[in-house]
Amino acid sequence: MAGPSKVQFPGQKKQRMRARGTKRASEGVRKRLEKNLAALLEDPHARMPTVAYTIKRARKDPVQRSLKECAKVIAKKNDRKWLGKRMMRRRGDGVARALAGSLHAAHDDERSMVAVFDHPIFGSSSFVRRGVGKPTQMVAFQNFVNPRQRLLTWEEHARNGWWFFSLDDGIVCTGNEPHPPEGWIEGGLSDAPMKFSKKEGVYCSPNAVPEQTDGLHFVVGEATVVLDEEDLAGVAEEESVARSVALRMLPPRLSDFAEVQWNWRPGGLARG
């Protein structure tokens, strides 16, 4: 097994994502991978991000280069011999190499042994390792149903300043500027450790109301989220709402574009 894929985003400490060895796949794991790989083979274009920015110089755009190389792989998705050569080629685009390996795995009936991906933030998953592509990228292609893990295909581009947002039905790339697409904040809030409801156009935690001034307020684009102090009191830092939202994008830097305000209300004072 190759060494860990190192992930480092601007302004953050280095993180490590590991694919830890192999294991014998249970029946449940095999069925889940068969379903995921069948979906990948049927429509690999659906695994590609939607481009939501103006393309100025495509030849110098790394995302466009990756998409172009992936298109070549997709055109050969049923050619196992060609995929076998492409997934072993160390030169060229890494995303396309991982895609070739995953498509090759989709044609393979032998899935009794699987590799294991385990990360404290992005979670754990099993995947079929084929070729010399990055394990994290193969995990993303083969577990696309996971809204956090699907982003890992594009971690290298994210380290270089490109923004990717995970929605319920896919990925949107907004180029070098973070412009959260419509529906993105709702997906992040659905992953949060508490239930949010929309009241008068404002997303409120269980004890919050749209007009309250205390508590935590943050604004993302045209969306406003209000969290009451009582709701925040029982949430650990590693399960925070901000973390749940941030992990629906790469790089996970919510502070780059969200407006956050904390208003404290001394005990005994009425809520305004």
Backbone torsion region of residue 92, taken as left when φ is above 0, otherwise alpha when ψ lies between -120 and 50, otherwise beta: left
Q: In DSSP terms, which residues pair with 166 in a beta bridge? A: 171
How far apart CA 211 and CA 204 sit, in angstroms, is: 10
pLDDT band at residue 238 under the 50/70/90 scheme: low
The H-or-E segment that residue 242 falls in is helix 241-246
- Does residue 14 or residue 112 have the better pLDDT? 112
pLDDT in tens, 123-178: 889 999 999 999 999 999 999 999 999 999 999 999 999 999 999 999 999 999 99
Percent of the chain having pLDDT more than 90? 68
Dihedral pair phi/psi, residue 161, rounded to 5°: 100, 10
The H-or-E segment that residue 211 falls in is none
Q: In DSSP terms, which residues pair with 191 in a beta bridge? A: none
| 206: DSSP letter | T
Q: What is the arithmetic mean of pLDDT over 74-78?
A: 99
How far apart CA 134 and CA 122 sit, in angstroms, is: 16
pLDDT recorded at residue 7: 44
How far apart CA 133 and CA 93 sit, in angstroms, is: 10
Query: How much is the pTM?
Result: 0.86
pLDDT recorded at residue 264: 66
Percent of the chain having pLDDT more than 70? 88
21 has pLDDT over 80: no
How far apart CA 240 and CA 246 sit, in angstroms, is: 10
- Does residue 13 or residue 232 have the better pLDDT? 232
- Does residue 185 or residue 19 have the better pLDDT? 185
Buried b (16+ CB within 10 A) or exposed e, 188-221: bbeebebebeeeeebbbbeebeeebebbbbbebe
Dihedral pair phi/psi, residue 270, rounded to 5°: -70, 150
Contact residues for 57 (Cβ-Cβ < 8 A; gap 6+): none
Q: What is the arithmetic mean of pLDDT over 66-88?
A: 98
pLDDT recorded at residue 18: 47
Q: Which of 57-66, 131-140, 209-218, 263-272 has the lowest mean pLDDT?
A: 263-272
Are the C-beta atoms of residues 49 and 63 closer than 8 Å to each other?
yes
pLDDT in tens, 22-58: 788 889 999 999 999 999 999 999 999 999 999 988 8
pLDDT recorded at residue 25: 85
Query: CA separation (Å) from 254 to 68, 118, 179, 244?
Result: 29, 24, 11, 10
How far apart CA 244 and CA 228 sit, in angstroms, is: 17
pLDDT in tens, 180-205: 999 999 999 999 989 999 999 999 99
Indicate the domain borders of the chain. Answer: 5-175, 184-263
Contact residues for 209 (Cβ-Cβ < 8 A; gap 6+): 199, 226
Q: What is the arithmetic mean of pLDDT over 222-242?
A: 84
Contact residues for 83 (Cβ-Cβ < 8 A; gap 6+): 73, 76, 77, 100, 101, 103, 104, 107
pLDDT band at residue 118 under the 50/70/90 scheme: confident
Closest by CA to 137, choosing from 96, 90, 86, 79, is 96
pLDDT recorded at residue 260: 87
pLDDT band at residue 240 under the 50/70/90 scheme: confident
Four-CA torsion 225, 228, 229, 234, nearest 10 degrees? -90
